Structure 1
Amino acid sequence: MSPEPTVDQLIQAAHAHAASDDPLDLLDAVLTVTRDLSGRADAAVDQVVRRARDAGYSWTVIGERLGVSRQAARQRYAERVEQTPPTVGLIRGRDLDSALTAALEAAQAEGLAEAGTEHLLYGLLTDGVAAATLEKLDATREKIREASRRLFDYPATPVPQAHTVFSAEAQAVLAAAEQLATERTPTCAPVVTTTPQLLAVIATNPGSRGRRVLNDLGIDVADIKRLLHCYINVPRTAFGRRSRRGRSGKRQPDRCSFCGHARSETRRLVAGPDVWICADCVARCGEILAHPTADARQP
């Protein structure tokens, strides 16, 4: 049995069947594609209904396309698409906020109504761990911009957009980054989504536009995983570290509190107050501190 398609895959399939880019035509297409599916199919319809509402269409018109009355359409979708924000919640780190702002500005400069995951990749070069990682792999904003123009259909003459929003794919990637942050944050700490989680999700999603840009630039995803390992693999325990006792009750080897690797002859550990850090993580910290952010330089 083939795996159930993702929301983004459903919407992409709908785009291929839609008569035009009009939200109502897309709504017709997504209904056809998702008629026999459940779960993510409802989420896909919700997103397209939200687009139709954002485009100014009334519940009467949307209800006609759905084959229901205005009242039925409003009762079924209003709470999901209007009262529930389409953006992710929890706490965003300052580096991620800066990246999202830069991504939207980059899409606006291209004359696009939506910012995709390639724009998120562009924005990640603004600040933080993801910026340091991409720079280490020789990725620059200019290279990302050139690759995006080669791969995707951008307008030859940009038309200024009054309001640019994130695409469905970009919103799904942000939600996945938030989920990753939730899974990797110690239970005693607040969940903060930062740039490492977003870069990791983009890099490991083979179908995303951002991943296609990375492939075009010849950047190995394995290198990204290696450089981000310490930031996205913190164990989900009370203090963000693995227990030193296994199921048998025997003491387990000391491990780095950041990357989880055990002490060995080739991997030395430095002890702190109930924590350990290995030489690799110390070196990575040195690289980050060698390029302080603007906020870090302020007294």
Structure 2
Amino acid sequence: MADLRFADLADAVESRAAGGGDVARLDAAISVSREVGNLADELLDHFIRQARSAGLSWGVIGERLGVSKQAARAKFLDRVARLRLVESDGMEVAPRLSACLDRAGEEARLDGSAQIGTHHLLLGLMEEGVAAAVLEGLKVRAEDIRATAASLFGPPGPEGKEIPPYSEQAAMALDGAQHMAHDNGADAVAPPHLLCLLVSDSGGKARRVLNEMGVSHTDIRREIDRYIIAPGRKRRRRRDQELICSFCRKPRSAVGPLVAGPNVHICAACVNVARDTFAEPAGAAT
């Protein structure tokens, strides 16, 4: 199989070079090599993300890769956690959500943050769309979010040079938003889906900021509820609904067994996230 693969790649190089000589073949080989490397990275990212969704810890993943838990998480967290929608369902990111995510990244950079936290996602949602209209209707302003976040989590640091990666909690909110969009028959993941996930996470920085500002999460949910159901599609009765994790919003069929509590359920992946979060030094971004 290795020889066949090498032969296939060599044929691809020769085809691209098209008889152009040694320099042309070298250029073609470099190009093909980079493409193969990118494909290998994408393959590994896909299955590491799948492993995380199944509940495997960074410690286990690092052990299989021959590195420490911290090294595995530092290298792959952002790569596997960035918004990658359910390939099998062809989900897309609504243009307005893309603009909001870009704004969130810029807010984190200006904030001097090492990661894009859920409070930065909340700021990003002020950019445009239904989520922005809902928040503005509840008298939430971007400058108030920034001031409240600074009082809760500390003042901004020096402005960063690049957009930082997502924190794990922010990545899980994005992942949960895609599942909510899919479960509700939406054509694309939109700002209301993400806002719904942010206000559902009682321990997240976004929810803590809203609580401090006196903004009721039930008011937000009531305002956005009508937007997260596709037109013409009725809600199923609660008794007919599949159980979902109360934190990442993934259905039991996708994450496996759920641990039940009073009106709450949690999957293995979220348990691992909680364990990793409590193991981190105080003050780490969420």
TM-score when scaled to structure 1? 0.52
1:41/1:142 CA distance change after superposition, 3 Å: same
Shift of 1:165: 1.3
Match for residue 45 of structure 2?
none
Match for residue 56 of structure 2?
42
Contact 1:46 1:81 in 2 (8 A): no
Q: How does 1:237-248 map to 2 (within 5 A)?
A: 240-241=233-234
Pairwise CA RMSD: 3.3
The CA deviation string for residues 193-225 of structure 1, in whole angstroms up to 9 with x for no partner, is 000010011011101110001101100111111
> Aligned equivalents of 1:210 and 1:242: distance in 2?
27
Instruction: Identify which of 52, 66, 73 aligns with 1:63.
Output: 66
> Aligned equivalents of 1:217 and 1:154: distance in 2?
17
Q: Secondary structure at the match of 1:213?
A: helix
Greater length-normalized contact order (CA 8 Å, ≥ 6 residues apart): 2
The one-letter amino acid of 1:97's match is S
The alignment status of 1:205 with 2:190, answered yes or no, reads no
The CA deviation string for residues 260-296 of structure 1, in whole angstroms up to 9 with x for no partner, is xxxxxxxxxxxxxxxxxxxxxxxxxxxxxxxxxxxxx
> Aligned equivalents of 1:224 and 1:81: distance in 2?
33
Shift of 1:94: 1.0
Match for residue 24 of structure 2?
none
> Aligned equivalents of 2:59 and 2:197: distance in 1?
24
Contact 1:112 1:161 in 2 (8 A): no
> Aligned equivalents of 1:176 and 1:39: distance in 2?
11
The alignment status of 1:158 with 2:172, answered yes or no, reads no
The CA deviation string for residues 162-197 of structure 1, in whole angstroms up to 9 with x for no partner, is 3411111100000001110001116xxxx3000001
Match for residue 211 of structure 2?
215
1:145/1:160 CA distance change after superposition, 3 Å: same
Contact 1:196 1:231 in 2 (8 A): yes
Q: Secondary structure at the match of 1:165?
A: coil
Shift of 1:141: 0.5
Match for residue 226 of structure 2?
230
Match for residue 102 of structure 1?
103
Match for residue 141 of structure 2?
140
Shift of 1:41: 4.8
Q: How does 1:118-133 map to 2 (within 5 A)?
A: 118-133=119-134
> Aligned equivalents of 1:198 and 1:209: distance in 2?
14
The CA deviation string for residues 10-66 of structure 1, in whole angstroms up to 9 with x for no partner, is xxxxxxxxxxxxxxxxxxxxxxxxxxxx9765154478x5xxxxxxxxx99x72536
> Aligned equivalents of 2:206 and 2:235: distance in 1?
33
Match for residue 181 of structure 2?
181
Q: How many residues align?
A: 176
Contact 2:199 2:217 in 1 (8 A): yes
1:46/1:207 CA distance change after superposition, 3 Å: farther
Q: Secondary structure at the match of 2:106?
A: helix
Q: How does 1:4-23 map to 2 (within 5 A)?
A: none
Contact 2:108 2:115 in 1 (8 A): yes
Match for residue 82 of structure 2?
87
> Aligned equivalents of 2:57 and 2:171: distance in 1?
12
Poorly superposed stretches of 4+, deviation over 6 Å: none
Shift of 1:87: 1.8
> Aligned equivalents of 1:242 and 1:137: distance in 2?
26
* Higher share in helix: 2
1:95/1:45 CA distance change after superposition, 3 Å: farther
Structure 1 gaps, min length 5: 1-37, 50-58, 67-72, 244-299
- Sequence identity (%): 30
> Aligned equivalents of 1:44 and 1:216: distance in 2?
33
Q: Secondary structure at the match of 1:42?
A: coil
The CA deviation string for residues 50-102 of structure 1, in whole angstroms up to 9 with x for no partner, is xxxxxxxxx99x72536xxxxxx9xxx8xx949x7432223111110011000
